[in-house]
Amino acid sequence: MPPLLTDARRNTLLVLDDGTITYARTATIEDYPLLEDLHARCSTGSLFPLYRGRRPGFSAAEWQRIVDSPLSRVLLVTADHSDHAVAMASVIESSRAPEACEVALLVADLPPHAYQSRGLGTRLADLVADLARDAGFTSLTVTSLWTNWRMLLIVEHLGGPALPQTSYVRNMALLGLLPNSGLDVADEIELRIAL
């Protein structure tokens, strides 16, 4: 069993671009209320791609299966040791490629507790990449909407492919315009990042 699944890095300090202090730790079954609280701090636009269009979130039984599984690890991020989760990352051994692990990130984006565009996703992705590398994985797999420019920038930051549409999509999203390139905004792309 890889160390990723057994070695818990507890209370890892993550300092955001604006100096805000957050802490990442391995999630436990008892953290289910924190997960529900995090979902309440996230927009439908953030939840939809993570859960691939199905009901956002997990039942308590699903949460227990994910947290207890020897094939996955969930990290929760809290601000200043508070009881409010502001982000999470899930890392799951890939069933299609044993050298890879699948990664998903969720960062709170609803005011007044928005944490997107403050460097948290990037810091959390760096932590996940370090954990995966330490465990002997050689790559990460990320599935994202092709219009999720924040995730595309994180993938690029981690050494993944730099997609030509990332700046265009980012600019159109900031302007509130949807790009028209023949792809549906719900189309997903899968990206592999070598570690």
Average pLDDT by stretches of 10, the chain with 195 residues: 49 92 92 92 81 70 89 89 88 86 93 92 95 90 84 91 68 57 61 90
Domain coordinates in residue numbering, the chain: 3-143
d(CA 165, CA 104): 21
d(CA 94, CA 71): 9
- Whose tokens are 């100096």? That residue is 19
What pLDDT, on a 0 to 100 scale, did the predictor assign at position 33?
94
What pLDDT, on a 0 to 100 scale, did the predictor assign at position 11?
82
Q: Give the neighbor-by-neighbor strand order of the sheet with 72-79.
A: 12-15, 21-26, 72-79, 85-93, 100-107, 139-145, 188-194
What pLDDT, on a 0 to 100 scale, did the predictor assign at position 190?
84
What pLDDT, on a 0 to 100 scale, did the predictor assign at position 126?
96
Q: Give the domain 3-143 fold.
A: Aminopeptidase (3.40.630)
d(CA 53, CA 96): 22
- Measured over all CA atoms, what is the biggest interatomic distance in the chain, rounded to whole angstroms? 46
